[in-house]
Amino acid sequence: MRVLVVEDEVELAKQVGRALEEAGYTVDISHDGEDGEFLGSTEPYDAVVLDLGLPKVDGLTVLDRWRKEGHSMPVLILTARESWSEKVSGFDKGADDYVTKPFNMEELLARLRALIRRSAGRATSIMDCGPVQLDTRSGKVSLDGMPVTLTANELKVLSYLMHHLDRVVSRTELTEHIYDQDFDRDSNTIEVFIGRLRKKLGPDVIQTHRGRGYSLSSPRDIV
């Protein structure tokens, strides 16, 4: 899952980005509203952490422009502005959640997990697909109740497919959501990760749709 952090405080942005990466997310960071708006308009993100007091273009304007352009990714506002009127303005512009500084990093991560789950139509942090279970809170995966060790990229691929159960996801889409903007992306590596996941989780969990991509079968479809 890929997250954009738009925050002008460089050290804070680094801390948030590091925490997100340690939690298994792919992270892009922007330090001003103009660049952040461009990234959010042109790159596919699963969620955005957005400051309000940004240079060049303020956060509320950025959010308002995204929503008017039809971008529906979940947006969590992270700001020092804590008046009720500021919060109302944020929600009216299309924010999905609001966290004020100073904040607890674990709470921020939990709120982001919840936003991403809800946008995918999933209610809890435990996701099941037949014998495979993923705990999005801890990043732990199990098969028939037994723990399975995955690499970081294998986990990112599985997590994205889990969040989009029963939908065919192209190799390009998977590539865009597991690598950051500066990575030299090669969609052919997705086949490698899919092959490894099949070896670890079973050959029938991930379905290949020739010329279209991959999908995870819902529990009722797995024999």
How much is the pTM?
A: 0.83
45 and 88 both lie in a single domain: yes
In this structure, are strands 140-143 and 132-135 parallel, antiparallel, or unpaired? antiparallel
| pLDDT band of 122, cuts 50, 70, 90 | confident
What's the average model confidence in pLDDT over 127-148? Answer: 91
Q: Which structural domain, as residue segments, surrounds residue 103?
A: 2-119
Which residues lie below 8 Å from residue 3, measured CB to CB, with a gap of 6+?
A: 20, 25, 26, 27, 28, 45, 46, 47, 48, 49, 112
Query: Is residue 121 predicted with pLDDT exceeding 50?
Result: yes
The answer to whether residues 96 and 20 belong to one domain is yes
Give the mean pLDDT of the chain. 90
Pull the structure tokens for residue 43: 């790159």
**Which of 58, 89, 119 corresponds to the end of one domain?**
119
Residues 109 and 150 in one domain: no
For residues 152 and 186, membership in a common domain is answered with yes
Report the relative pairing of strands 47-50 and 2-6 from DSSP bridges.
parallel
| Same-domain pairing of 137 and 212 | yes
203 and 135 both lie in a single domain: yes
Q: Average of pLDDT values for 71-93?
A: 87
Residues 93 and 147 in one domain: no
11 and 95 in a common domain: yes
Domain boundary among 119, 153, 173: 119
Query: 165 with 182, same domain?
Result: yes
Which CATH number covers residue 170? Answer: 1.10.10.10
**Picking from 40-49, 91-100, 177-186, 207-216, which range would have the lowest pLDDT averaged per residue?**
177-186
Confidence of residue 111 (pLDDT cuts 50, 70, 90): very high
- Residues 85, 21 share a domain: yes
Evaluate the omega torsion of the peptide bond into residue 102 and state whether it is cis, within 30 degrees of 0. Answer: yes
Same domain, yes or no, for 32 and 56? yes
> Would the pLDDT of 94 be above 70?
yes
Q: Where does a domain end: 92, 119, 146?
A: 119
Digit-coded pLDDT (tens) for 50-81? 999 999 999 999 999 999 999 999 999 998 87
Structural domain count, the chain: 2
Look up the CATH number of the domain holding residue 91.
Answer: 3.40.50.2300
pLDDT score recorded for residue 221: 44
Verify that 20 and 88 share a domain, yes or no.
yes
